[in-house]
Amino acid sequence: MRRIVSIIILIIIAVGFIFAFSKIPFGKDKINVANYYIKKGIKQTGAVNIVTSVVLNYRGFDTLGEVTVLFIAAVGLGAVLFVERKIQKNMDDKEDKTKRASLILRTGSRLLFPLILLFGAYIFVHGHLTPGGGFQGGAIIASGFLLMYLAFPKQRINKKTSGLAESLSGLIFVGIGLLGLVFSGYFLTNFLPKGIPNTLFSAGIIPIIYIAIGFKVGFELTGIIDDLLERSR
């Protein structure tokens, strides 16, 4: 019964899709507002990567919201899976005999971990020149920490420090926005010099915000994995 009803719903939605998609031709030029970004983006923001300049300059408010969403997810996950410290100790004792990973895995991950962190940092520092940016870099850093969790199940990051780094980098983002409000009257304006395009030190506030986002996302995703692994065994 449930299956039949849902298939009917799906068919209705599919018909809607077909009608709607037939009005949007694939691969045709329908760029409207974005023309402005493509033509004036480099001059106005100094970033070579137009996606970056859209993400952080023209639509920077969305990115602030996106960072907030991830922050909410990390905080909410911590709240939902929260276990009192005392109970958690007991559980840890019970789980003491977690099996170690093999030698090859341990050595390999110890070798690769700094390289992965370096690569993540490269990705978010070069966000305005090459594809990538804060979020991607942060996810790579979090993957590095995930690798360490997998290879060494008993080691943990320091939650307090990572939480502090998280809120500090969030504050940096909001603070830069407020500085823009002070200097030029608009929230999240680019108030720094734009530099020469296609060099590392260019594009005003974009690299700073991307570094902040990179740290924030990295620590948040690591915190999510840590909470999932540690709490509520």
Partner 1 sequence: MTLMIFFGVIIIAVILALIRAVKGPTAPDRVVGVDIMVTITVALMVLLGIFFKRRIYLDVSLIYAVLSFVGVIAVARYLDKGL
Partner 2 sequence: MVNPSLLIAVPLAFAFSIPLFGLVSKKIGKYIPVVALLINVGISFILIPQILKKPAVVSIGGWSPPFCINLVVGPLGVFLVTLISSIGLLVAIYAISYIKEEPTEKYHMLFLLLITGATGIVLTGDIFNLFVFFEILCISSYALVAYNKDKEGTEAAMKYLIQGSVGSSFVLIGIALLYGMFGTLNMADIASRVTSADPTFLFISLAFLITGFGIEAAVFPLNAWLPDAHSSAPSSISAILSGIAIKTGVYGVARMIYTIFNADGILTFIAFLGLLTLLIGEMSAFRQNDIKRLLAYSSIGQIGLIVFALGIATSLGVFAGLFQIVSHALAKALLFLAAGYMIYRVGSKSIDSLSGLGRKMPLTSFAFTIGSFSLIGLPPFAGFISKFSIVYAAIQVKKPIFLVFVVIALIATVIEAGYFFKVVQNLYFKEGKNVDNVTETSGYIIVPMIILVISIIVIGIHPQFITGLLKGAAGELLGRTGYIGWVLGGS
Partner 3 sequence: MSGIYNWMYYIASGGLILIGLYIVLVKTNLIKIVIGLNFIDTGINILLICIGYVRGRTAPIFSRPGISPANVVDPVPQALVLTAIVIGVAVLALALSIVIKVYQHNKTLNVTKIKGLKW
The entry of partner 1, partner 3, partner 2, none that residue 224 binds, CB within 5 to 8 Å by partner kind: partner 3
- 185 lies in the site for partner 3, by CB under 8 A: no
Q: Binding to partner 3 by residue 118, rule CB under 8 A?
A: no
- Residue with structure tokens 């939902």? 80
Tokens of 177: 């926005």
Contact 210, 127 (CB under 8 A): yes
158 phi and psi angles, rounded to 5 deg = -80, 110
DSSP assignment, residue 191?
Answer: -
Tokens of 189: 């304006």
Draw the binding track, 40-59, toward partner 2 (x: CB under 8 A; -: no contact): ----x------------xxx
Please classify residue 172 by burial: count the beta carbons closer than 10 Å to its beta carbon, then call 0-12 exposed, 13-18 middle and 19+ buried.
middle
Pattern 149-168, binding to partner 1, x per CB under 8 A?
A: -xx-x---------------
Q: How far apart are CA 163 and CA 227, in angstroms?
A: 12
Chosen residue from 58, 71, 113, 119 binding partner 1 by CB under 8 A: 119
Task: Fill in the amino acid letter for 186.
Answer: Y
Stretch that binds partner 2, among 72-80, 100-108, 127-135, 143-151 (CB under 8 A): 72-80
Could you give the CA distance from residue 20 to residue 117 in angstroms, rounded to a whole number?
Answer: 44
**Least distance in angstroms from the C-beta of 4 to partner 1:** 27
Q: Which of 116, 209, 217, 221 binds partner 1 (CB under 8 A)?
A: 116
Does position 28 bind partner 3 by CB under 8 A? yes
Alpha-carbon distance 67 to 58, whole Å? 16
Contact footprint for partner 3 (CB under 8 A): 2-3, 6-7, 9-10, 13-14, 17, 21, 24-31, 33-34, 37-39, 41-42, 48-51, 54-55, 59, 62-63, 65-67, 69-70, 72-74, 76-77, 80-81, 129-131, 133, 135, 197-198, 217, 221, 224, 227-228, 232
